[in-house]
Each structure stands twice: as structure tokens, then as C-alpha cells.
């Protein structure tokens, strides 16, 4: 078993760190930040994965099910 003095030091360190973190988070939460300090993004700064793709064709279904008597076979149409 560890020495009781060591356990007190660990407990004091953990409690002090938690209190310091709570104070820092509260202070940063309550700080008023002007809107003009935020980074503004231009037109081409959106990643390609976030841009809108082509809309799906309304006349063609994305997926269909081919029902046969003995089994069900899924059919997927990919453009």
C-alpha cells in the first residue's frame, strides 16, 4: 500500500488541477469575443466532400427489388 502522504499529494494535485481547469473554462466561456475576430471563409474554402453533388434523377429509382418466386434479389442502379 502506498504511503498516506503520497495519496494526499495525488489527491491535492487532482483537486487543484480540476479547480484550475474549471476556472479557466468558466473564464473563457464568459469572455465576450467580437464577431470580426472570427475567421471568414471565402467561396473556395469549403472542402470538396462538403459541396453539394448532382441531385438524384426523379424518374429512376435508386434501388429496386426483383421479386422472383424462389428468392428476392436486390437490384441497385448506380450512375
Q: Is the pLDDT of residue 63 over 70?
A: no
3-state helix, strand, coil in the chain (%, to 5): 45, 15, 40
| pLDDT at site 25 | 94
User: Taking the domains of the chain in order of start, what are their residue ranges?
Assistant: 4-76
Strand partners, 67: 72
For 9-55, write each residue's pLDDT tens digit.
999 999 999 999 999 999 999 988 787 777 776 665 556 665 566 66
| pLDDT at site 21 | 97
Amino acid at each position: 500500500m502506498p504511503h498516506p502522504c503520497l495519496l494526499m499529494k495525488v489527491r491535492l494535485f487532482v483537486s487543484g488541477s480540476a479547480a484550475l481547469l474549471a476556472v479557466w473554462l468558466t473564464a473563457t466561456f464568459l469572455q465576450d469575443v467580437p464577431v470580426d475576430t472570427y475567421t471568414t471563409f471565402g467561396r473556395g474554402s469549403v472542402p470538396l466532400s462538403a459541396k453539394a453533388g448532382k441531385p438524384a434523377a426523379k424518374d429512376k429509382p435508386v434501388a429496386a427489388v426483383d421479386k422472383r418466386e424462389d428468392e428476392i434479389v436486390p437490384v441497385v442502379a448506380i450512375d
